[in-house]
Structure 1
Amino acid sequence: MKIGIIGTGGVGGYFGAKLAAAGNDVQFLARGEHLKAIQSKGLQVKSIKKDVHIQPANASDKISDLSDCDLVIFACKAKQVRETAVQLSKTLKKEAWILPLQNGVLAADELAEFFDRKQILGGLCMIFSFIESPGVISHVGLNEPMIIFGELDQTKSERCKTVLHLFEKADIRCKQSEDIHASLWQKFILICLSGLGAIANEGYGLIRETPESRSLLVDVLTEVSQIAKAKSINLPKDIVEKSMAIVDSYPADSMSSLARDVLSGKSSEIDYQNGTVVRFGLELGIATPANKFVLGMVKLLEQKNCKA
């Protein structure tokens, strides 16, 4: 199977390297110094589980190189999905499958603006990883990275079996979800806490241990759960408590990709996280003050850090 990886960062670089190491024909899409390093030295993944080094690695910055792929994994930032889909839709073969792994709950709908919805799977991943240096991906944290996917219409399909086998053969922990929309929201509720790490310039440890900031974590989660209920998303009744239990299991110094982006002076995905909650709240008539606070403060930090 020929697989295209759009975005060879922490997510695409890690999972793409695992797929390539398993013998698949993987075409990586990257840019800048990262691309140059991959082309000259290969793609290296440092992981507490198992290091991987793909050399040579097929990498370019031309989206047309993905035109004959059987499966395209969108691993770019959520804010890049629509603009990338516009370009890819001009070249990708019609029978190709598309799997988005973005943070947030909008990627599949955005892709459906440019592709037949039947081509698209719902998907998400669980991983703490980042570009350590050009050509090098670092996976941190004790939890084993995981991909969860499923059909958007919640049916069981042969292609899901094929994708499941593909990931299992590549030693990628994976799960086929019977309700991918619920799975997406179960992750979404957690990533809406990401901005607090940027605001505090801290890992999850101190934030969850300080009573006042822990209360804010709970407020953010509660608002997202209220939005999900209003949108008929099938989440557990105790989703807030379960989500806090997960947060309590994170390494104390762990920090989200959004927080790292903001603190390093990059623009973030905040509009696709807390911004989405605020917009849904306005549409549904549900107050979201905690999420509105996180959105506003992260926007402020983006402006401040980008000017620095």
Structure 2
Amino acid sequence: MRIAVVGAGGVGGYFGARLAAAGNDVTFVARGGHLAAIREKGLTVRSPLGELRVAPGAVVPAIADVEGADLVLVAVKLWDTEDVARQLRSLAESGTAVISLQNGVQKDTVLRRHLPQESVLGGVCYISAFIEEPGVVAHNGTLQRMVFGAYGGKESGPARALLDRCLEAGIDAELSADIERVIWEKFVFLVGLSATTAAVRQPIGVVRGEAGSRSLLHDVMREVVAVGRAKGVALDSGFADDRLAFCDTLPPSMTSSMHNDLERGHRLELAWLSGAVAALGEELGIATPRNRAVADILSPYALGAPAVPEA
């Protein structure tokens, strides 16, 4: 299978490397020092499941350099989605399927503004991985799961083909007949984890262990469920309770990528997480005071560490 991976960071680098190691024709789209390192030495994935190496040369600097693909996996930060969607248009119009593994519930809406509707499949992934150094991706733990499928429960040849390739590559993968619900279920947890660990600036063990921050975690997720249900997504009314119980099973040191980005002074995906919940809530007439508060509290850091004005 010819697969293009747009964004060779933790998510794209890991899954792309696994698919390449299984014999698929994988091309990575990367930039900066990561691009240079992969060109020179290849891509290395360090994982408890075994180290993977992708040979040098399987990387290009731009989507326009991809010479045909059966499927594109999108794994860039959310603020790059609009630009990536425009660049994918010619591939998608020639029959290439597109699956975003990004966070959030607005990613596919953005893609469908620029691409043929039938080319965009829904997808989510569950993994903790990051760029350790240029050309090297580190995988934390053993969780590495993908769920994907066509919207509306339709049959999809590319999705079925990807499932087969994933299973051959040792990736835990599943087709879903209700991918929109799956995306929202992940979103409930993701927003809760991201909002609270970033706002409290502590991992989940601290957040869930204090009554006040635990209440914040539950309320943030409950608001996401309310917004999703108002949009017609088949979320159980008590799903926030389910996710809170799930949070109690997580390693106490676990945190979110948004918390990590905040600590490193990087740009945040805030506008697509708690910010998106607040905006959608306002649009739908659903109160989201906890997510609005988190979005406001973290707003000075949205574009990275703020500069302190001189006196």
The TM-score by the shorter chain falls in which range?
A: over 0.9
- Name 2:186's counterpart in structure 1: 187
- Name 1:145's counterpart in structure 2: 144
Matches within 5 A, 1:28-39: 28-39=28-39
Calculate the aligned-residue CA RMSD, in Å.
1.6
- Name 1:160's counterpart in structure 2: 159
- Name 1:247's counterpart in structure 2: 247
Shift of 1:209: 0.8
The letter for the 1-side match of 2:157 is E
Shift of 1:6: 0.4
- Name 1:290's counterpart in structure 2: 290
Q: Is the deviation greater in 12-21 or in 226-235?
A: 226-235
Question: Secondary structure of the equivalent of 1:305?
Answer: coil
Percent of aligned pairs with the same residue?
36
Q: Residues 185-226 of structure 1: CA distance to partner in whole angstroms, max 9, x if unpaired? A: 000011112032222222111111111100000010111111
- Name 1:257's counterpart in structure 2: 257
The letter for the 1-side match of 2:293 is F
Q: Which runs of 5+ in 2 are unaligned?
A: none
The answer to whether the 8 A contact 2:3-2:26 is kept is yes
Shift of 1:35: 1.0
Q: Residues 145-197 of structure 1: CA distance to partner in whole angstroms, max 9, x if unpaired? A: 10010111212333332121011111110111110010000000111120322
Shift of 1:57: 4.6
The answer to whether the 8 A contact 2:266-2:303 is kept is no
Question: Secondary structure of the equivalent of 2:3?
Answer: strand
The letter for the 2-side match of 1:41 is K
- Name 1:299's counterpart in structure 2: 299
The answer to whether the 8 A contact 1:167-1:174 is kept is yes
The letter for the 1-side match of 2:206 is L
Question: What CA distance in whole angstroms lies between the structure 2 residues aligned with 1:168 and 1:287?
Answer: 42
Question: Secondary structure of the equivalent of 1:89?
Answer: helix
Q: Residues 265-296 of structure 1: CA distance to partner in whole angstroms, max 9, x if unpaired? A: 11111111111111111111111010011111
Matches within 5 A, 1:169-188: 169-188=168-187
- Name 1:280's counterpart in structure 2: 280
Shift of 1:33: 0.8
- Name 1:125's counterpart in structure 2: 125
The answer to whether the 8 A contact 2:21-2:52 is kept is yes
Question: What CA distance in whole angstroms lies between the structure 1 residues aligned with 2:81 and 2:27?
Answer: 18
Q: Residues 7-35 of structure 1: CA distance to partner in whole angstroms, max 9, x if unpaired? A: 00110000000011001111101111111
Question: Secondary structure of the equivalent of 2:113?
Answer: coil
Question: Secondary structure of the equivalent of 1:233?
Answer: coil
Question: What CA distance in whole angstroms lies between the structure 1 residues aligned with 2:238 and 2:214?
Answer: 17
The letter for the 1-side match of 2:148 is F
Question: What CA distance in whole angstroms lies between the structure 1 residues aligned with 2:110 and 2:59?
Answer: 25
- Name 1:86's counterpart in structure 2: 86
Question: Secondary structure of the equivalent of 2:245?
Answer: helix
- Name 2:111's counterpart in structure 1: 111
2:214 paired with 1:211: no
Question: Secondary structure of the equivalent of 1:128?
Answer: strand
1:215–1:180 CA distance, 2 compared to 1 (3 A): same
Question: What CA distance in whole angstroms lies between the structure 1 residues aligned with 2:53 and 2:297?
Answer: 39
TM-score, with length taken from structure 1: 0.95
Question: What CA distance in whole angstroms lies between the structure 1 residues aligned with 2:78 and 2:88?
Answer: 15
The letter for the 1-side match of 2:144 is P
Q: Is the deviation greater in 249-258 or in 21-30?
A: 249-258
1:21–1:93 CA distance, 2 compared to 1 (3 A): farther
Question: What CA distance in whole angstroms lies between the structure 2 residues aligned with 1:250 and 1:65?
Answer: 41
The answer to whether the 8 A contact 1:81-1:110 is kept is yes
Q: Which runs of 5+ in 1 are unaligned?
A: none
Shift of 1:90: 4.0
The answer to whether the 8 A contact 2:88-2:115 is kept is no
1:303–1:115 CA distance, 2 compared to 1 (3 A): closer
1:78–1:22 CA distance, 2 compared to 1 (3 A): same
Question: What CA distance in whole angstroms lies between the structure 1 residues aligned with 2:18 and 2:96?
Answer: 21
TM-score, with length taken from structure 2: 0.94
Shift of 1:106: 1.1
Question: Secondary structure of the equivalent of 1:219?
Answer: helix
Question: Secondary structure of the equivalent of 1:8?
Answer: coil
The answer to whether the 8 A contact 2:93-2:115 is kept is no
The letter for the 2-side match of 1:245 is A
Question: Secondary structure of the equivalent of 2:83?
Answer: helix
Question: What CA distance in whole angstroms lies between the structure 1 residues aligned with 2:292 and 2:252?
Answer: 25
